[in-house]
Chains A and B, each alone.
Chain A
């Protein structure tokens, strides 16, 4: 089955860190740009970061630059989002998304930043 499965979310204190993982199955993730998008009731859907097929190009929304790092391991068909110095406003449901068209989404992993 073609799918994306996110993991690694949880409750973390402000200033803490989390590493999200996205495991692809049923297709070769190495053929696609991969993106992280987050969603909250207050802000809606927000693009966070993306990475090109071989990991040589990475982009971030301004609010996470210097704190989040996107990476991928094509041998494991996986993409990651390392989140550091987390803030309350980073609390969201984080989705992993395939391709520049956004044609496949995972079910999301919930990140809650709270003391």
Chain B
């Protein structure tokens, strides 16, 4: 089970966002972060905890290992207000997703 917190994060553009994802047991580094904007499919941002996908802006960074993981957005841009999901593939071929954190404009 992946637990994301907080459920909603209300911030202003330019602020720092810190999103948490906690696994119920160790998943090593097999954790990914996705961004989903309204009406769009999820988009992979970070894989294996800290690796940015080509095209992911440098303001996005992932950290953590074992059971505790963090996605940090260093300075929010307007297009970053969206829902973020964490996903584990430690149980490959099965995937598990968290319930998401909504980052909204304050």
Q: List residues of A whose CB falls within 8 A of some B CB.
A: 33, 35, 37, 44-47, 50, 57, 59, 61, 95, 100-108
Q: List residues of B whose CB falls within 8 A of some A CB.
A: 32, 34, 40-44, 47, 53, 85, 87, 89, 92-100
A95 touches B41 (CB 8 A): yes
Separation of A105 and B32 alpha carbons in the complex (Å)? 14
| Chain B residues within an 8 Å CB radius of A61 | 94
Say which residue of B43, B47, B87, B94 sits within 8 Å of A59 (CB atoms).
B94
Separation of A102 and B33 alpha carbons in the complex (Å)? 10
Q: Given A45-B42, A45-B85, A101 and B47 touching (CB < 8 A)?
A: yes
Separation of A61 and B97 alpha carbons in the complex (Å)? 13
Separation of A37 and B53 alpha carbons in the complex (Å)? 20
Separation of A43 and B94 alpha carbons in the complex (Å)? 16
Say which residue of B32, B95, B98 sits within 8 Å of A37 (CB atoms).
B95
B96 touches A106 (CB 8 A): no
Say which residue of B34, B93, B96 sits within 8 Å of A33 (CB atoms).
B93
B44 touches A101 (CB 8 A): yes
Given A102-B87, A108-B41, 12 extra CB contacts under 8 A: A33-B93, A37-B95, A44-B97, A44-B98, A44-B99, A45-B42, A59-B93, A61-B94, A101-B47, A102-B89, A102-B95, A107-B40
A35 touches B43 (CB 8 A): no
Q: Which residue of B lies closest to A57 (CB)?
A: B93
| Chain B residues within an 8 Å CB radius of A95 | 41-42
B41 touches A107 (CB 8 A): yes
Q: Which residue of A lies closest to B89 (CB)?
A: A100
Q: Which residue of A lies closest to B44 (CB)?
A: A103
B44 touches A102 (CB 8 A): yes
A47 touches B95 (CB 8 A): yes
